[in-house]
Amino acid sequence: MGLNILEFDELGNKPENVREFDLKYEEYQKSLSLDDKIVLDARLGFYCQPKSFKVFLDVDDNVGAQRIRDNKRPTDYYASMEEVLEKTKERSQENRIRRQKLYGVDIADMSNFNLIVTTGKTVPIEVDEIIEGFTKFQK
């Protein structure tokens, strides 16, 4: 759509777009079968697929902001690290409030997840911890 992530979220926050953005995606996620053996990258994955193995990839705010700044997407420009950090925190809070209003769930409630992995500065993420957690989950 040629929008940066903040513009996309702003568009999704408009009441006339709720069905198109959130509810349509929720319906799609709920239609997926656990037998499909997929990885679902979604803020509401825990809600739409409650029987699935749910992993939350956590990152320190400053590390996340640095990753965003270093990514240098053509749709995103930030004058400073402080601006990236501020806009990222605003976006997270707006997304949290929106999901609470629409679904009555708190996407920041870590009890919704089976495993929380702190990614820190590690890229790519070490998957052994996730595989071990998934193996325990299956038993």
Q: Are 27 and 102 in contact (CB under 8 A)?
A: no
- Full-model pTM: 0.75
Q: pLDDT by residue (tens digit) across 27-86? A: 888 888 888 777 877 888 899 888 899 999 888 888 888 888 888 877 778 889 999 999
CA–CA separation, 136 and 83 (whole Å):
41
Number of domains in the chain: 1
Neighbour-count burial of 46, counting CB atoms closer than 10 A to its CB (0-12 exposed, 13-18 middle, 19+ buried): buried
Q: Which residue has the tokens 């749709």?
A: 75
**CATH, residue 35:** 3.40.50
pLDDT at 26: 79
Domain containing residue 115: 5-138
Q: pLDDT by residue (tens digit) across 120-136? A: 765 566 788 888 999 99
